[in-house]
Structure 1
Amino acid sequence: MSMKFMMEGLVIFVLIGMLCAIPCGVYGVSVSCMMAYEEGGAPAVFSSLECPQWVLSAGYSENSTRNCQFAMLQGHREYQEDRVTCNLDMKLLFSGEGTPEETTVGIAAIFDGHGGDEASEMASRKFLDYFSMHAVFTAYKRALPSNNENHETNKVERMDHHSLLPILEEALLRTIQDIDSEFSKEALDKGYISGSTATIALLVNGQFLVANVGDSKALLCSEKTASHHDTEGTSSGEVYIEELTRDHHPDREDEKARIQSAGGFVSERGIPRVNGILAVSRAIGDVYLKRYGVTADPEVTGWRAFTPENSYLVVASDGIFETLTTKNVCDLVHDKASRFSSEHVSSSSLADWIIRHAFRRGSTDNLSAIVIADLHNCKEGGCNRERKRTT
C-alpha cells in the first residue's frame, strides 16, 4: 500500500470523525450526505439516495415568486425567455446557543435567456432550492471545531451576523456554479445552444449584496432628504441612482482581454459579439463558447447596509434598457409613488409601470422587472410581501 493512499485514507477517516463529533441534527446533515455534497455539490445531494431529506426540501421551486413584487411582458418576441425567481421571506436555520436559530433571507433574481429558454428555466426552477441547501452545508462545514482552539470538540460554533454573511455569499456563488455546470452537461447531451444572464440581489438583516452575470441590471434608487447635504449640488428631494452592476459586454476591456487570451475574438461591427455570436461575455450555459472565454463567474458587490435615503431596489432585464435609462427607471418609480398614496401603489404595480413604459417607447425584447420598496423594513426580514402574477 502506497504512502499516498494511506495518507488519503487517514484524511477521510479524520474528516468523518470530525463530522460525527458534531450533532448532525443542528443542520440536518448526515455524514453520507455530506460526502455526496463534497463530491458533486447541490445536484449530487438532490439526486442521492443518501440524502432523502433534501428532495425538494425547501419547496421553493414549486412557487419561485412567493412574496415577490414583479412584472413580466413577452413584448414583440416570439417567446418569453426571461424568468424571475424571488422570495423575500426565506427562512433558514443556523446554529444558535443550544437550539437552531431562524434567519430571514431575501432573494430577487432575473434570468434573461437567449437562444432558447432552457438555461433560464433551469436556473429559475432550481435556484432557491440549491441556495438554501448550499447555505446549510456551508454553515455546517464552517462549524467544524478548530484544532487550534481549546474548546470541547463537540461544540458547534454559534453563527452570528458577521459569520453569516460570508456563508450566504459562498452559497450564492456555489449555486450559480452548480447550475451552470449542471445545465452545461445537459446542453451537451441534448444539443442546447441557449444561455442565460443572472442578476441576483441577496438581502439579510438590513444589508444586501448583488451578483451579476451578463447584462441585466440592479439599481438602487434613492432620494435626498431635507436633512441630507452633499458636495455634488444634489437638491433636497431629488432622485439619484446607483448602478450596482456592470454589463458584461464583450468589448469591455477586461472582458475582451479574457476572451482573446482564451483564443476567441470580439466582432466589432454593430453589436460586439463573442466570436461574432454572443452579445454578452458572461452567461450561464452557452456551452459551445465556454472554451473561448465565456464564463458564468459573477461579479459581486460587497455587503452594504441600506440607508434611510434608499427608496427602491430594482432588478431588471436588459430589454428595459433598450428604451429607458437607469435614471428613467428610478424617476418612474418615484413619480408614480409620489402621485398616489402608499395604499394604492404596490411594488408590483411599480414594476409593471416600468415595463409598460419601456414597451411603449419601443423596446423589442422580453421585459422583466422586480421592485423592492420599504428597504428599511428589510432589517426585520421579509421586506414587502405582495405578489404579482406574470403577464
Structure 2
Amino acid sequence: MTLVSVVSRFIRLYVLSTEMMILVAFIFLLYNFIPYIPLWKFMRSARVKMQVKLSGQNGTVPNGKKIGVEKTIDSVFEDKERASWELKGENVGVFAIQGRRPHMEDRFNVVSDLENTGTSIYGMFDGHGGEFAAEFVEKTLVKSLMVRLLQAENGHTVDSAGRMLTDQVLEVDRQLLQIARSTMPVEISGTTSLVAMVRNSTLTVANTGDSRGVICDKYGKMIPLSFDHKPHQIKERLRIQQAGGFISFNGVWRVGGVLATSRAMGDLPLKDKHFLIADPDILTFDLDELDPKFMILATDGLWDYFSNEEAVEFVSERLSEPHFGAKSLVLQAYYRGSLDNITVMVVDFHNNRTSQYNKKSR
C-alpha cells in the first residue's frame, strides 16, 4: 500500500466522515453565536464592570462636536484614549462614548426652538466604514432642514413635515454620493439617519437605518417612534433580491455580506448597485394626545443590549439626572458588553422651562 493510498484512505475515513463534518459545523456555529448567548453576555458584562472605569467630562457641545477624551481599560482593546461627547441642555441631554470601537463614528445634532418658531430638530447619525458620511449628513441635513423650515415660516413653502424630511434626506444622500464619486480613493462610508422634528404639537420622525427612537407616554408606556431597517425583513429582502443583490448571515444578516442595515445614506458601492436605498420611513404623532414624558433617540450600540421597554423604564427612574438619564443608559449598555459606539439622546417634554412644545400647546 503506497503512502498516497494510505493518506487518501485516512481522509475518507476520518477527515470527510459524517461525524467530522458535524463537529466542524458545530464549532462554526458555536464561534458565530457565542457572543449572543445570555450566559456569555453576563460573564462578559461582569468582567467589563471590573475592568472599566469611565470618568465623565464637564464640557458641553451644541451639535455633536468632540469635547474631550476618557480612558477605558478593556480586554478587547489596548488602553487608549477614547472619545466622549456630551450635551446638557435644559430639556435635552446627550451622552456618547466611542466604546470598544477603534473609531468614533456616531454623530448627533440638536436645534432647540429654531429662530423662536417653536420648532425643534433632534438628529442621530450612526456612521460605518468611516466618519465622513455621518459628519457630512449631521451638518448638511440639519442645516437644510433649518432653511426649509424658515422658508415655510415665511410662507415660501407649504410642504408637510413628512414631505420636507423625505425630500431633504434624499437630497443630502444625492449630494453625499456625488462627493463620494469625486474623491480619490472613492469615499465608501455610510450612515444611518434618525431625525425627530417637533413642530407646533406634532412630532414627525424620519428613519433610515437601524438607529431607533422611542417615547414614554403620559401613562409611562413605551411607544416606538421608528422601526429598524434590517436585511432579513421580507420587504427589504425582496427589494434587495429584485435588484440582483443577496443577503447572508455573518453574526447578523448583511446586505451583500457586508452591511447590517438595509437602508442608509452614502455607501456608494451598494447604492450604485441599487442594493441599498436612503428612503426614510415617516411616522407622525400628536403630542397633545400622547402628552409624552420623554423621548429617547439612540444608535444601535444601545439597542443591541436594551429592549425598547427596558430603556424607557431605565430612563423613567433617572430623569432628575443632569443628562436626564442618557449618560447612565450609555454606561449601562457599555457595562453589559456593547461592542459598538453608543450615543443616547433624551428629550424631557415635561420640562416647562424650555420645552417649546409645552409653551405653545398648553
TM-score (norm 2): 0.69
In structure 2, the residue matched to 1:201 is: 196
Q: Which runs of 5+ in 2 are unaligned?
A: 1-60, 65-86
Change (3 A) 1:179 1:198: same
Matched, 1:362 2:337: yes
Residue 173 (structure 1) aligned to one of 153, 166, 181: 166
Q: 2:358, 2:128 → 1: CA distance?
A: 31
The question of whether the paired residues in 1 share the 8 Å contact of 2:161 and 2:204 is answered with no
**In the alignment, what sits opposite 1:296?**
278
1:50-90 per-residue CA deviation (whole Å, 9 max, x = no partner) reads xxxxxxxxxxxx94258542110110111100000111221
- Give 2:109's aligned residue: 85
User: Which residue number corresponds to residue 262 of structure 1?
Assistant: 243
What pairs up with 1:231-242 in 2 under 5 angstroms? 239-242=220-223
- How far apart, CA to CA, are the structure 2 residues paired with 1:247 and 1:295? 14
8 Å contact kept, 2:196–2:206: yes
The superposition leaves residues 94-120 of structure 1 with CA deviations (integer Å, 9 ceiling, x where unpaired) of: xxxxxxxx5221111100000101100
For the 8 Å contact 2:198–2:357, the answer to whether it is kept is no
Instruction: Give the letter for the 2:167 counterpart.
Output: R
Q: CA deviation at 1:292?
A: 3.0
Aligned residues with identical type, % of pairs: 28
Tell me how many residue pairs correspond in the alignment: 271
The amino acid of 2:276's aligned partner reads V
- Cα distance, 1:301 vs. partner? 0.3
1:330 CA drift (Å): 0.6
Asked whether the equivalents of residues 119 and 198 of structure 2 are also in contact (C-alpha less than 8 Å), the reply is yes
Q: Over residues 218-239 of structure 1, what are the superposed CA-to-partner deviations in whole Å (9 max), with x where a residue is unaligned?
A: 0012352xxxxxxxxxxxxxx4
Whether the 8 Å CA contact 1:104–1:204 is kept in 2: the answer is: yes
Aligned counterpart for 2:263 among listed residues 252, 272, 282: 282
Change in Cα spacing, 1:336 to 1:136, as seen in structure 2 (3 Å) is: closer
CA distance in 1 between partners of 2:105 and 2:231 (Å): 21
4+ residue segments displaced more than 6 Å = none
Q: 1:314/1:378 Cα in 2 relative to 1: closer, same or farther (>3 Å)?
A: farther
- 1:231-289 CA-partner distances (Å, limit 9, x unpaired): xxxxxxxx421111111001111111111111111113531111111111100001111
Provide the rounded CA distance (Å) in 1 between the counterparts of 2:197 and 2:326: 18
Shift of 1:306: 4.1
Q: Partners in 2 of 1:271 and 1:380 — Cα distance?
A: 39
Partner Cα separation in structure 2 for residue 246 and residue 282 of structure 1: 12
RMSD: 2.5
Q: In the alignment, what sits opposite 1:108?
A: 122
Q: Give the superposition deviation at 1:329.
A: 0.7
3-state DSSP of counterpart to 1:112: strand
Retained in 2: the 8 A contact 1:266–1:276?
yes
Q: Specify the code of the residue in structure 1 equivalent to 2:316.
A: H
Unaligned ranges ≥5, structure 1: 1-61, 92-101, 144-162, 225-238, 385-391
Cα 1:140–1:264, aligned 2, differ >3 Å: closer, same or farther? farther
Instruction: Report whether the alignment pairs 1:185 with 2:178.
Output: yes
Question: Counterpart of 2:255 in structure 1: which amino acid?
Answer: V
- Alignment partner of 1:64 is 2:45: no
Letter in 2 for 1:64: N
- Taking a change above 3 Å as real, the CA distance of residues 252 and 203 of structure 1, as seen in their structure-2 partners, is same
What amino acid is aligned across from residue 211 of structure 2 in structure 1?
A: S
Q: CA deviation at 1:206?
A: 2.3
Contact in 2 for aligned 1:85/1:127 (Cα 8 Å)? no
Counterpart CA distance in 2 for 1:178 and 1:280 is 20
Contact 2:222-2:312 within 8 A present in 1 as well: yes
Query: Pick from 325, 328, 344: which aligns with 2:310?
Result: 328
